[in-house]
Structure 1
């Protein structure tokens, strides 16, 4: 059971936010990242353990389509059983290479592992190592992981290789040992009040996604979805989870994973995580297609982020609006004239008609996220 994970990072000095061409507010035009190009699949996944072979069927029914099961030192029979259970569902597996093979520099063992499972239909990608930059007593060498990455590609060129990190400033030396960059930061702890962590988390997320952009890596964000048994981590509140979820989407993540299923709470999953997934899943094609830059959005408050996404094969649009402050804000969203005459709905209820000026007024509570449709 892997629960010893350091989740708070030191705030990175010299942080610079990337510019944005999509948020047209006069006070702060460089606050948000540019529109990253994404491609399917956009995964939503759980971390779990290879022994929990009942999880694929349970998770698949809740909109989960990716699992990262910790392999540890389990037998090939248990790995095969988990993969075969996944085969009965649409779920794909980010398969961890046993850490002992990496740590002992057993390149032939790594190649044998890849050959054994590379043709299994459930295997999507290889999970090379978990937080190599903070491995005790010393970090895993970037040169070693580059060597292992090369060995993986010699056996299987078709599947991407993933690495997950917590210390952003340590990532760059590992760039040539991965295709997928993952980042985990779990800011919700006992004694840390709701959203006390938000400024640091947002800046750090923008930093790591900018690095993924520069290095041309797919980016998966790992979001806190657990409470500690013997630690002081708490589950995020519903507002905190939705904020982390949609902040990741708007910032440009190519998928989201949740840590970790066996330390989560069934009631929390049913009331917080799975409803958020259900709400979002229908809009994944719009998110992947990307923001509609031909219809720029203007907002009269610099602390509100609003993005407009065309929904493929329809004449509808998705609007995601996020309040990045601790205060309730009333604001006006102004769209282009090409959308005049349409209506804006929230939870299937009409809230505004876009008359000749193609604008509408709305309100967001502190750190609230709302999804609107323009139809």
Structure 2
């Protein structure tokens, strides 16, 4: 049975033939040769790499609206010992399972942090229609959903999951993009329990919050597929597992590979064995190995605009400019006929292969 995200993507596929040049005979996306090394589609210049596809555009065209200003926090991450500090934050449980959408709610009902409310990736953080498997809802739709959960625009919010923030980061990104002071619980549910925190099964009494004020028509801090195929002047970072990036496997989407010119920084590399954020010095080394310099034009993507939000949080944690999010990500790109590259990009390093057990997005 197809997942809700896959069905949604199939309904929302859009052609972009008016933006892409008609492919020549040798320009078709190429998978790895059977039993051989992945081949690189060198006949297309990379997108976002400053190559010949990057035509000159006005400052307005190439500068998407940045996230709304919010109260300054020292880091997007908070440790479990600080969660109980006064005033106690609003807690959101953002657990999610790709192959069993109902499992997260069942686990929440079996045990969650005291006072936590369950936020569903499919119901609260995703629009029913749109590009990609998890398209962003409008800010108004998202704000209404949060208000119904008792989250006010001026509340302090902490989001957690059980996968090192891979899914909690999507809620964090949406909240902070609209000016809410939100943070991710470092280490998530396991860190809370390891620190002596209790789990409860009683439902949280929720009183709806007032409507959020001054909402923009769309989420700031994003780019679209149209922006990228028109010649984006900044770099691209793919947060998926290396085997998916290289085009060796594709367990979810119909085409394997990555957006031409993108570099690979698997989000899992930012976490240690206990799914906690690595130290600052170690993170800087990882970003340097990926060839990533601080750049406000940097764009991150993954499979559907979920786990790549963790890269945004980490770069803010390091004091770097907040990257832009391509929310449609690979699930939109490959279905809409975007050019595909496999193997290692022609320029710049990628991280070493990693075959760990990582949740896709």
TM-score in same-fold range (> 0.5): no
Counting strand residues as a fraction of each chain, which structure ranks higher? Answer: 1
Counting helix residues as a fraction of each chain, which structure ranks higher? Answer: 1
Compute the TM-score of the two structures, normalised by the length of structure 2: 0.28
Compute the TM-score of the two structures, normalised by the length of structure 1: 0.27
Greater RCO, CA 8 A, separation 6+: 2
